[in-house]
Chain A
Amino acid sequence: MAVKEEQQFKELMAKGTSLGKVDEDIMRETIRTQDYWINMGPQHPSTHGVLRLILSLQGERIVDTEVVIGYLHRGTEKLAEARTYHQIIPLTDRLDYLASPAMNFGYVLAVEKLMEIEVPERAEYIRVMMAELARISSHLLWLATHALDIGAMTVFLYCFREREMVLDLFEMATGGRLITSYYRIGGVAHDLPDGFLDKVKEFCEIFPKRVQDYDDLLYANRIWLSRTVNVAKISAEKGLALGLSGPSIRGSGVNWDLRRANPYSVYDKLDFEVAVFDGCDVYARYLVRRKEMLESCKIVKQCAEYLEKTSGPVMAKVPKVLKPPVGEVYMATEAPKGELAYYIVSDGSQRPYRLKIRTPSFANLIALPEMVKGHLVADVIAAIGSIDIVLGEVDR
Chain B
Amino acid sequence: MIAKALMKDLLIGLRRTFYYCFTKPITVQYPKEKLTPFPRFRGFIRLVKDEETGRYKCIACGQCARVCPSQCITVKGEGKGKERQPVEFNIDFSRCIYCGFCVEICPVGGLENSSFYEGATYDIDWLKFDIDKLSEDYKKWERTFKK
Contacts and interface: CB of A to CB of B under 8 A. Distances in A.
B42 interface: yes
A68 B102 CA distance: 39
Contacts of A189: 100, 104
A1 interface: no
B142 to A, nearest CB: 20
A90 B97 contact: yes
B38 A171 contact: yes
B42 A222 contact: no
Contacts of A216: 12-13, 15-16
Nearest to B4: A222
Interface in B1-40: 4, 7, 9-10, 12-13, 15-17, 26, 37-40
B41 interface: yes
A173 B42 CA distance: 11
Nearest to B38: A172
Interface residues of B, number: 25
B69 A87 contact: yes
A171 B41 contact: yes
A161 B24 CA distance: 13
Interface in B33-78: 37-42, 67, 69
Nearest to B42: A175
Contacts of A61: none
A179 B15 CA distance: 37
A222 B11 CA distance: 11
A90 B37 contact: no
A190 B40 contact: yes
A154 interface: yes
Interface string A343-373: 0000000000000000000000000000000
Nearest to B3: A220
Contacts of B4: 222
Interface string A320-359: 0000000000000000000000000000000000000000
Contacts of B99: 89-90, 179, 181
A221 B9 CA distance: 5
A181 B102 CA distance: 13
Contacts of B98: 176, 179
Nearest to A173: B40
A173 B40 CA distance: 7
Contacts, number: 65
| Chain A interface size, under 10 / 10 to 19 / 20 to 34 / 35 or more | 20 to 34
B147 to A, nearest CB: 29
A86 interface: yes
Interface in A158-207: 161, 164, 168, 171-176, 179, 181, 189-190, 193
Nearest to A320: B105
B23 to A, nearest CB: 11
Contacts of A223: 10
Contacts of B40: 171-175, 190, 193
Interface in B130-147: none
A38 interface: no
A98 to B, nearest CB: 17
Nearest to A169: B38
Contacts of A220: 9, 12
Contacts of B69: 83, 87-88, 90-91
A221 B67 CA distance: 53
Contact of A217 (B13, B26, B113): B13
16 contacts: A83-B69, A87-B101, A89-B99, A173-B40, A179-B97, A190-B40, A193-B38, A193-B39, A216-B12, A217-B13, A217-B16, A220-B12, A221-B13, A222-B4, A222-B10, A223-B10
